[in-house]
Amino acid sequence: MKATKREKRDTTEKKSSTKEEDTNGLFASCSFSDLGLHASLCDHLQDKMGFQRPTKIQAEAIPVVISGRHALVKAATGTGKTLVYLAPIIHLMQMRTPRIDRSDGTFALVLVPTRELCMQVYGIAQKLVHRFHWLVPGYIMGGENRAKEKARLRKGISILIATPGRLLDHLKNTSSFNYSSLQWIVFDEADMILELGFGKALEEILAFLGSRTGVSNQSGNKKSDLKRSLRQNLLLSATLNEKVNQLANISLDNPVRIGLDEMAVSLENEELLIKDSADTYNLPEQLLQRYVKVPCGSRLSVLLSVLKALFEREASQKVVVFLSTCDGVDFHHALLTEFELQVETNRILKFLNCTVLRLHGNMKQEDRAKAFQGFKTEKSALLLSTDVAARGLDFPKVRCIIQYDSPGEASEYVHRVGRTARLGEKGEALLFLQPVETDYLRDLELHGVSLKEYPLEKILDSFPLLQKGMKNPYKKKMVSLDMHPWIMFLQRALESFVSSEPSMTKLARDAFCSWVGAYNAHRGELKKIFVVKKLHLGHVARSFGLKEQPSLVGRVQANKRKREDKKEKLVKRRKVVAKKYLS
């Protein structure tokens, strides 16, 4: 007898799931339909999206979401948390009778910290509603055209993905935005939303939408005859910690805790309390985590050498380098795109032979979107980014994460490295530290993260300069890394390249000044590890290919003025908005 399509699929599923369970233990042994999801949705997940089985976190959390309970979900990066909320919400929405119509307004709201994540979640929602054409996903976010967003909101968006600032803007100013039927609020990367300073905005948003009960300030005006259901709120992140306590308490009602062990959470005076002990983070087991100790003056040459070694080892691969500032991204992007090196007499070669992309918050929205999509689809590329790419972004097949500028808190480290080794894939991460910063390793260890040392000498010795009979003094006596012949050669070439082009020199100077500012902005305990006064600013300048240290005085004041101007403009704008809203 011929096997049916579903039987054939079941056999394939069994085979692939056994393999997956053997290799990484990430997947559950049940199927999506065992979790109670609608058959069409399960078929779509399997046939069109290639998801044969739920991951363990999906198997545990999806039934909870279907049950209607509020939930707090903590699970490692790249384990499929987006589906944890989107699949059951779509399942519940498609079941409603009468059918949801877009004119009924928004039923589910997903709040995310960044524009790129907003686009990404929207893309997944679009795929998941494929067989339920009456459900309309949409997004609103900073940088987009407000008038177009207003028009989309007027037509109706059933599943709305939003960044908090822009959502608040529409709640205040778009009267046609109908959220009277809102049933779900999801805070994806909840801790990051708060870290970005959106705490007050979230409180205002919840005041508009009704925090736990689902009684929003529009509920009374509801025109549709749909039955009002109770609100269900969900909070998710790989690093849920004590910082989300307040948000959890105003938004969640007796939540189910998933991935947070009993010891890490308590109930005090009816208030949920996530304790410091929740700060131990799970990282993908297969992720190779290393650090490299580099004196400040050689940082740039070592970065370039590591990148060259990576792309020469495997021409086709994707690498992300995290930097602390937008100016830093711009400078390194220009440098890595244009820098050439004379390897032999009359032979000049491009130093890095790969596509180099950049991403940061000061770029125009269309350039940001282009870079984000570009890095998603490229088979081989290098992405230079600030922390806008650190959270939630799912770039396929990223092989290596380099944290050239150190992250702040351990949670930032976890999310940055989480862009690789996703869903059981291989991945490696490299953290740059100066000798005076190595206490940071201890800080990471307190959060359950431990790193091995990277074999830098071996990599540097492999470059051609040494193979041509040059002596390596570095090998014989323990002199500084700055004296390694390859590093000396490269540093000279970099300095002459940066000084030969005025535009490049300007980029380097700006990047230097911003870097010092960012270094000085470390908070709390980290201020004791990253101490500007311990740095030799001349060596910092060398790490931007500058022969001399630029003056910081005028710039620091100019930056301060710029910040103050910006603040003033913001206050003015808020006043205008408030006036409009109150009148």
Ligand X SMILES: Nc1ncnc2c1ncn2[C@@H]1O[C@H](COP(=O)(O)OP(=O)(O)OP(=O)(O)O)[C@@H](O)[C@H]1O
Q: In the complex, which residues of this chain contact ligand X (CB under 6 A)? A: 51, 53-55, 58, 75, 77-83, 238, 392, 394, 418, 422-423
Beta strands in 183-255 (DSSP E): 184-188, 232-237
Rank residues 190 and 518 by Cβ distance to ligand X and give the closer one: 190
Q: How far is the CB of 279 from ligand X (least distance, A)?
A: 16
Rank residues 91 and 212 by Cβ distance to ligand X and give the closer one: 91
Q: How far is the CB of 451 from ligand X (least distance, A)?
A: 19
Other Cβ atoms within 10 Å of 200 Cβ, number: 10
Nearest CA to 409 out of 527, 254, 306 is that of 527
Beta strands in 48-183 (DSSP E): 71-74, 108-111, 137-140, 159-162
Specify the 3-state DSSP secondary structure of 188. Answer: strand
Got the DSSP string for 519-581?
A: HHT--GGGGGTS-GGGS-HHHHHHTTT-SSPPP-HHHHHHHHHHHHHHHHHHHHHHHHHHHHH
Rank residues 330 and 394 by Cβ distance to ligand X and give the closer one: 394
Rank residues 247 and 401 by Cβ distance to ligand X and give the closer one: 401
User: Token digits for 25?
Assistant: 């233990």
Query: What are the φ/ψ torsions at residue 290 (nearest 5 degrees)?
Result: -135, 165
Beta strands in 297-397 (DSSP E): 318-322, 340-344, 347-350, 355-359, 381-385
Q: How far is the CB of 79 from ligand X (least distance, A)?
A: 4
Q: How far is the CB of 397 from ligand X (least distance, A)?
A: 10
Buried b (16+ CB within 10 A) or exposed e, 10-41: eeebeeebeebeeebebbbeebbeebebbeeb
Q: How far is the CB of 418 from ligand X (least distance, A)?
A: 5
Rounded-to-integer distance, Cα 571 and Cα 495, Å? 43
Rank residues 13 and 482 by Cβ distance to ligand X and give the closer one: 13
Q: How far is the CB of 44 from ligand X (least distance, A)?
A: 13
Residue nearest to ligand X (CB): 80
Residue type, 60: E
Q: How far is the CB of 528 from ligand X (least distance, A)?
A: 29
Rank residues 117 and 136 by Cβ distance to ligand X and give the closer one: 117
Rank residues 214 and 418 by Cβ distance to ligand X and give the closer one: 418
Is residue 111 within 8 Å of 167, Cβ to Cβ? yes
Rank residues 170 and 243 by Cβ distance to ligand X and give the closer one: 243
Specify the 3-state DSSP secondary structure of 400. Answer: strand
DSSP state of 175: T
Beta strands in 47-123 (DSSP E): 71-74, 108-111
Q: How far is the CB of 437 from ligand X (least distance, A)?
A: 26
What CA–CA distances, in Å, run from 62 to 47, 283, 308? Answer: 20, 22, 44
Q: How far is the CB of 282 from ligand X (least distance, A)?
A: 11
Is residue 295 within 8 Å of 374, Cβ to Cβ? no
Q: Is 531 exposed, middle or buried (0-12, 13-18, 19+ CB in 10 A)?
A: middle
Rank residues 378 and 394 by Cβ distance to ligand X and give the closer one: 394
Q: How far is the CB of 83 from ligand X (least distance, A)?
A: 5
Rank residues 80 and 255 by Cβ distance to ligand X and give the closer one: 80
Rank residues 164 and 392 by Cβ distance to ligand X and give the closer one: 392
Q: How far is the CB of 554 from ligand X (least distance, A)?
A: 41
Collect all residues with Cβ–Cβ distance below 8 Å to 7 and sequence separation of at least 6: none
